[in-house]
Amino acid sequence: VKTMKNIFYNHTRAACIVGLALMLFSCGLISTEIIYRQNRDADFSSAPPAASAKNSILSTVVGELEGLIGDILVLKADVYFHGMSSYTQYLNRHSDCHLDHDHEHHQHEHEDGFNHFLYNKYRKICPTEHVHLDDDKEILPWLAASMRLNPHNIRAYIISSYWVGQRLKKWDQAEKIFHEGIRYNPKTWQLYYELGKLYAIKEEYQSALVQYNNALKVFPEKMSEEDAFDCANLWRSVGGSHEKLGDYINAVAAYQKVVKLNPCEKSLEKLQKLVHKKETTINNQ
């Protein structure tokens, strides 16, 4: 006790060092959290690591940190979408149920959660129920900032264009988002694919096909099981666009690739037969 007293009374430098050590410890905790969250979002890990492509003053000053902040802002948008509810904490702990927003899992939260009278009080000011934002557009500022800070964050482009295009029906803005993303990430197939899907929603199938073909051009040659699944989805979209344009031959060819890449899809075989049937009918006429 006497030594501690001496340190705090007379050695303020030592106290500062302790403070600095604690600060480093906190930084370590925060960085571990970021890495954990990034691993959780591994479905988009094909994108390059966070790094700014812009030669802005900010990127010169803060370097790679700018990209990292950009990545965090995407997570911020997700937290916003859940009304900043600490339900997102639960998702961090049980990342396996993130995508389906499983309500059954959520019920376990209160059963298994930390039961402490102080924390129960804290829940009154920081609700834990699973809620979704009443006004979707509110997440846009964080996504816009994320894209600006880390132009290689593919997830930010895809989520932004979804909200701006499909939810707010601002198709031109959604298209702009993708074009900006492609400018910074010309070898990322997801952006071409999503842009193609956007054109398909707008019923501009010819433009959609151009983008799907661009996606196929940059699609990785060595495919994992997951890549094969993605590629099958891409070919299915190609088939769909050809079908809508009345080009049944190319549609069938595309669907055949889907079945080849993902043999489990029985429904596609049926669709293939249907397309054949249609083609025969047209030829007979």
Partner 1 sequence: MSAAIVAIGNTLIKELLRRKEVFLMLFLALAILIGAASLSFFNVDGIEKYLREISMNITMLFTVLITIGLTARQIPLEIERKTLYPILTKPCSRWQFLLGKYFGVIAAAIISLIFFHASCLLVFFFKGIKPGFVYVEAVILQICGLGLLAAMALFLSTILSSPAAVVGIGLLAYFFFKWFGANIELLIDRSSGALGTIVPLIYTIIPHFEFFDLSQKVIFSSMYAPVGILDMLFFVGYAMVYSTFFLSVSWLIFRKKQL
**At which residue do the structure tokens 């961090």 appear?**
92
35 binds partner 1 (CB under 8 A): no
Residue closer to partner 1 by CB (options 37, 278) is 37
- Name the token pair of 70: 């950009």
22 binds partner 1 (CB under 8 A): yes
d(CA 115, CA 118): 9
Please report how close the Cβ of residue 111 comes to partner 1 at its closest, in angstroms.
13
**At which residue do the structure tokens 């074009």 appear?**
179
183 binds partner 1 (CB under 8 A): no
Question: For partner 1, what does the binding mask look like between residues 66 and 85, x meaning CB under 8 A?
Answer: --------------x--xxx
Residue closer to partner 1 by CB (options 177, 254) is 177
CA angle 165, 170, 172 (to 5 degrees): 95
- Counts of helices then strands in the chain (DSSP H, E): 15, 0
18 binds partner 1 (CB under 8 A): yes
Task: Select the residue interacting with partner 1 from 59, 160, 185, 241 (CB under 8 A).
Answer: 160
Amino acid found at 223: M
Task: Select the residue interacting with partner 1 from 8, 31, 43, 282 (CB under 8 A).
Answer: 8
- Name the token pair of 25: 């410890």
Distances (CA, A) of 276 to 60, 267, 269, 282: 58, 14, 11, 10
Task: Select the residue interacting with partner 1 from 46, 89, 95, 233 (CB under 8 A).
Answer: 89
Task: Select the residue interacting with partner 1 from 27, 108, 122, 186 (CB under 8 A).
Answer: 122
Of 156, 150, 158, nearest to 56 (Cα)?
150
d(CA 195, CA 192): 5
Residue closer to partner 1 by CB (options 99, 125) is 125
137 binds partner 1 (CB under 8 A): yes
Please report how close the Cβ of residue 182 comes to partner 1 at its closest, in angstroms.
17
List of long-range contacts for 269-277, beta carbons under 8 Å, 24+ apart: 275/243, 275/248, 275/251, 276/248, 276/252
Task: Select the residue interacting with partner 1 from 113, 166, 250, 279 (CB under 8 A).
Answer: 113
9 binds partner 1 (CB under 8 A): yes
For 205, counting Cβ atoms within 10 Å of its Cβ (0-12 exposed, 13-18 middle, 19+ buried), the class is buried
Please report how close the Cβ of residue 222 comes to partner 1 at its closest, in angstroms.
36
Residue closer to partner 1 by CB (options 65, 140) is 140
Binding site for partner 1 (CB under 8 A): 8-10, 12, 15-16, 18-19, 22-23, 26, 80, 83-86, 89-90, 92-93, 113-114, 116, 118-119, 121-122, 124-127, 131, 133-135, 137-138, 140-142, 144, 160, 164, 168, 170, 173, 177
